[in-house]
Amino acid sequence: SSSPGNSIPAGLNPRQREAIAYLDGPLLVLAGAGSGKTRVITEKIVHLIETCDIKPHQVAAITFTNKAAMEMSERIAKRMASASKGTPKGLTIATFHSLGLRMVREEAKTLGYKPGFSIFDSADCLGIINELSGTTDKAKLRWLQTTISLWKNGLLSPKEAADAAKDEEEVVAARVYCEYANALHAYQAVDFDDLIRLPVTLLQDNAEIRQKWQDKFRHILVDEYQDTNTAQYRLLQQLTGVRASFTAVGDDDQAIYGWRGADVENLRRLTEDFPQLKVIKLEQNYRSTGKILDAANTLIENNPKLFPKSLWSEHGPGANINVIACAEGEAEAETVVMKLQGHRFEHRAKFSDYAILYRSNHQARVFEQALRQQRIPYLLSGGQSFFDKAEIKDLLAYLRLLVNDDDDPAFIRAATTPRRGIGTQTLATLGRYAAERQISLFAALFEEGFAAQASSRVVQPLREFGEFINRFQWRAQRESAADVFPDILAAIDYENWLYDQEESRAAETRWGNVQEFHAWITKKSDDDGKTLAEIVQTMALMSLLERRDQGDDYDAVQLSTLHAAKGLEFGHVFLVGVEENILPHRESQEAEKLEEERRLMYVGITRAQRSLHITWCEKRRQGKELVPCEPSRFIQEMGCEAATSASKTVADKSTSTAKLDFLKALLQKNNSGDATA
């Protein structure tokens, strides 16, 4: 449907076309849910490459999740004139973190890292913070970790953090931050926040490298811009430079990552930092029917407005919103599954048209159970990542150690899993020696000084382990990771160890995961030609779950947290557990946090295309007791009534169909000539 010389499809509205064609400077597309922002990004990439003669490697698109990146790749591949060739080679579609990883990798030397540097996950980092702070109090540890992370995302150095500390607690945290930063460097490791922070500081301080990266990308496109944090914003600024050739799209009403340091202020800051910024608003929603959209609009009006906007739809009013009160949690799950089945039958829909969305991961369990009972296929996203599973982390520790033997957390895990005569006492002795000498555990175990100090009962098993790692390091430098991996499994007798640990069904599942892991490594190394270091680093950012449901035609109900559902759409949505203390969350009662919860609810509602069910429970089990619950205030705020289970019916006070029809007529008049699909 595109004419030569112009790859913009006729179906897009004038604002969208304008956003796609605009190349004179920085552009912000600010618009509500389902208005075609992500579509603008995809089409603009195609347009840049096919019409503007920009090479794929000069374009970078930044998405919020790996999954979104993969979906975008696929969509672009389908849209290109040369569709058979897939996604254009060299085109960057990445998250901020994977782009950052690429930069740290390419500039590792300047940053003082070896190519095989480790990426520590949250658990690794928590372990280090635990050691440095001497705190075992879990809540305190989490607070320290969050505080340090927020400082890093705010681009504060340990010194700046210390200067800015407001109380004794923060002074202590700043000290831990400083030691933590030193420890990471000693381990040749970075954490997730470093993947953004390091590139930013590097580009800031090094004009030559900055120029190199600025020359690399002619245009950068950022989706979900409202959820960028300060460091990410700076990275974008550094990468685009004075030319400032970028397209950011976002919706301030969908900013839901404030708790992770994202700041909607970055939207406003754009307008200040780039006086030449062009802003385009999109107001037609292509996703949802009128009543759903209306409820979303009504709800979000309860938040103070940063940028006022209104959304309308041409889809007609559609079905009423169903609010269902349930007696308690299990009844809720059963009700949802029953309604879903009935609805699916009635509408001849597929399972994959349905999503069950909830506030927190743990809420999924009862729904999984109910779906299984009814033999309904489902996919769980936003839950535990594949790479967070114990068996995968065990084996990953070996691989990490092969590429970076200074990686102490990997050393500790590999040396003790499976057990090989290295206990906590042994590790403590080695740890003391390594700390004195300021070297890694691996380096310490080979030193004569250590052998002189410790008994042979301590030294012997450590040396054996060290030599084991050396042998495999030697092989890993010469052979494909796909070949080395099964030999490690055999050498540590991992399968038998799993069956010794667990009852056989659980062990079977774990062993299945190990095999899937092997398959994944094989694909990466043999098909994609990645080195072991690259594979290990990529792994830290990837979740196989995301990979698994990618491009899948698997017909399954989607179970997802609201956070993980951002940007997605489903024919029919069940929003569950819509109660006070859940949504809004118990810990989010102060004004600003409450607003973020409201935006989360807005995100949930606007995922639905044709129908929306909302459920809440009158009681929930807490320990042994059934505790009474209240329907979320958001139900009322969206203009619905929280029916009780006694009345068991639908409540819907939507009144604006007339208003919508009026708007529709008006806009059709003004937009004549603007073809809409």
* Identity of the residue, 37 or 620, whose beta carbon is nearer to Mg ion in the bound complex: 37
Binding residue per annotation — 287? yes
46 binds ligand ATP (CB under 6 A): no
- Which of 194, 224, 332, 534 is the catalytic position? 224
Distance separating alpha carbons of residues 514 and 170, to the nearest angstrom: 42
Contacting residue, 217, 257, 286, 312, with ligand ATP by CB under 6 A: 286
224 is catalytic: yes
110 is catalytic: no
Residue 558 touches which of Mg ion, ligand ATP, none (Cβ within 5-8 Å per kind): none
38 binds ligand ATP (CB under 6 A): yes
- Which of 50, 223, 394, 597 is the catalytic position? 223
197 binds ligand ATP (CB under 6 A): no
Distance separating alpha carbons of residues 494 and 501, to the nearest angstrom: 10
Residue 286 touches which of ligand ATP, Mg ion, none (Cβ within 5-8 Å per kind): ligand ATP
648 is catalytic: no
- Could you tell me which stretch among 34-42, 96-104, 360-368, 414-422 binds ligand ATP (CB under 6 A)? 34-42
290 binds ligand ATP (CB under 6 A): no
Residues 6+ apart with CB under 8 A from 212: none
Question: CB 100: neighbour CB atoms within 10 A?
Answer: 25
Query: Residue 173, SS3?
Result: helix
Residue 251 touches which of ligand ATP, Mg ion, none (Cβ within 5-8 Å per kind): ligand ATP
User: Measuring CA to CA, which residue among 223, 272, 268 is closest to residue 246?
Assistant: 223
CA torsion angle for 438, 441, 442, 444 (degrees, to 10)? 60
Query: Residue 617, SS3?
Result: strand
The beta strand positions in 455-569, using DSSP E, are 557-561
Query: Residue 28, SS3?
Result: strand
Contacting residue, 8, 12, 195, 364, with ligand ATP by CB under 6 A: 12
- Could you tell me which stretch among 28-36, 460-468, 509-517, 552-560 binds ligand ATP (CB under 6 A)? 28-36
13 binds ligand ATP (CB under 6 A): yes
Q: Please give the structure tokens belonging to residue 300.
A: 């979000």
Q: How many CA atoms lie within 13 A of 328 on its CB side?
A: 9
Tokens 């090989």 sit on residue: 420
Site string for ligand ATP, 581-610 (x = CB under 6 A): -------------------------x----
39 binds ligand ATP (CB under 6 A): yes
Distance separating alpha carbons of residues 315 and 100, to the nearest angstrom: 41
Contacting residue, 251, 294, 405, 406, with ligand ATP by CB under 6 A: 251
- Could you tell me which stretch among 36-44, 108-116, 195-203, 379-387 binds ligand ATP (CB under 6 A)? 36-44
Size of the site for ligand ATP (CB under 6 A): 21
User: Measuring CA to CA, which residue among 219, 226, 217, 25 is closest to residue 103?
Assistant: 217
Contacting residue, 44, 47, 67, 287, with ligand ATP by CB under 6 A: 287
Full DSSP string of 97-147: HHHHHHHHHHTHHHHT--TT-EEE-HHHHHHHHHHHH----HHHHHHHHHH
Please state the closest distance from residue 285 (CB atom) to ligand ATP, in A: 8
Please state the closest distance from residue 631 (CB atom) to ligand ATP, in A: 25
Please state the closest distance from residue 40 (CB atom) to ligand ATP, in A: 7
Residue 68 main-chain phi, psi, to 5 deg: -60, -35
Residues 6+ apart with CB under 8 A from 432: none
- Could you tell me which stretch among 31-39, 210-218, 236-244, 307-315 binds ligand ATP (CB under 6 A)? 31-39
**Contact indicator for 186, 406 with CB cutoff of 8 Å:** yes
What's the sign of the alpha-carbon dihedral 415, 417, 420, 421?
A: positive
Question: CB 156: neighbour CB atoms within 10 A?
Answer: 19
254 is catalytic: yes
Q: Which residues bind Mg ion (CB under 5 A)?
A: 37-38, 567
538 is catalytic: no
Residue 271 main-chain phi, psi, to 5 deg: -70, -25
**Contact indicator for 584, 632 with CB cutoff of 8 Å:** yes
271 is catalytic: no
* Identity of the residue, 291 or 599, whose beta carbon is nearer to ligand ATP in the bound complex: 599
Distance separating alpha carbons of residues 364 and 583, to the nearest angstrom: 15
Contacting residue, 15, 17, 37, 152, with ligand ATP by CB under 6 A: 37
- Which of 16, 58, 254, 298 is the catalytic position? 254
- Which of 15, 17, 37, 510 is the catalytic position? 37
Residue closest to ligand ATP (Cβ): 36
**Contact indicator for 33, 253 with CB cutoff of 8 Å:** yes
Q: What residues between 528 and 567 interact with ligand ATP by CB under 6 A?
A: 567
- Enumerate the known binding-site residues for ATP: 287
Residues near ligand ATP, by CB under 6 A:
11-13, 16, 31, 33-39, 251, 254, 286-287, 567, 569, 606, 676-677
Catalytic residue annotation:
37-38, 223-224, 254, 607
